[in-house]
A and B are shown apart, each in its own frame.
Chain A
Amino acid sequence: MHQEYTIIEGDFVNAGKASSSVKKTLKQLDVNPSVVKRVVVALYEAEVNAIAHAYGGKVLVDIDEDKIHMVVADKGPGIPDIAQAMQEGYSTARPEVRDMGFGAGMGLPNMQKNVDKLDVKSTVGVGTTVEMEVNFS
C-alpha cells in the first residue's frame, strides 16, 4: 500500500496529519500497538522537522505485509553536519519553533531509537531526506 502526503511550508497546525493517518491505517491492519507507536512517533518527529527547519516537502509511505517504509523529503537549508544533528540536545530551532513545543534536540535521536533503519541524507541549500523502516515483528 502506497500513501503520499504533502507538508506545506510553515503549516504547524497540520504537522502530524500524515502520522495520524498512518496510525489509523496501521491500526486497521492490526499491527501490534507498540510497533504502531514507534512508527508514528518517528514519522511525526520527521514531519515536524520538515516544517520547523525546512520549507515543507513530501511524505511517502509504503506498507507491506511485514514492514513499513517511510520517506520524508523536504526542500530546505539542509543539515551541514548530520552526526552533530543526531546528538541529543543539539538544536538550532528558532524561537517560534520553541514556542510550538519543539527544539529540545531530541527528534532525530527519537527517530533513531524507534525505527529499525534510519538514513538521513542532506544537501546544504537543497534539502533533507529522512528514510525510515520499521519491521512489524
Chain B
Amino acid sequence: MTLREIVDSLEATVHLGEGNLDTEVSHAFASDLMSEVLTLSDTPLLITGLCNMQTIRTCDMANIDQILLVRNKKPTDEMLELAEDNDMTIISCRYSMFKTCGILFQKGLLPLY
C-alpha cells in the first residue's frame, strides 16, 4: 500500500514528506526501543511512540526514511530539521500503538518477521 493509503486509514497528519506519499510501503516494524530498530537489516516503515531526536538519529543510522508516530506525538522543529536533511517522511496519528498496528495489519501491511 502507499503512504497515502496509510495516512488515510489512520486519519494521520503529515508533518514532513508530503511529496513522498505515493511511495509503496510493504513492511512495518513497531518498537519504542531504538536498539531493537538498530538490529534490522531491512528498512521498513517504523511505527513508534518514541518521539525525540534519537528516533530520527536511529532511523538515519538504520536507513529508515518513513516514520509513523502514534499516540498523538508531534515532532519538534529540531527533529523535523534533521529528518528533512535525510529526506524522511514523518506522519502521526492519534491511535495507540496496538490500534495503529491492528488497522495497518488488517489492510495488508506485512511484518518483517
Contacts and interface: CB of A to CB of B under 8 A. Distances in A.
Given A19-B57, A20-B57, A102 B63 contact: no
Contacts of A14: 53
Q: Chain A's interface: helix, strand, loop or mixed, by majority?
A: helix
A110 B54 contact: no
A103 to B, nearest CB: 8
B35 A104 contact: yes
A104 B54 CA distance: 14
A41 B57 contact: no
B32 A101 contact: yes
B60 A45 contact: no
Interface residues of B, number: 19
B50 to A, nearest CB: 4
Contacts of A12: 52-54
A12 B60 CA distance: 16
Interface string B40-67: 0000000000101111011011110000
A102 B60 contact: no
B53 A13 contact: yes
Given A100-B50, A101-B55, A105-B35, 9 more contacts: A12-B53, A20-B57, A48-B34, A101-B33, A102-B34, A102-B35, A104-B33, A106-B35, A113-B39
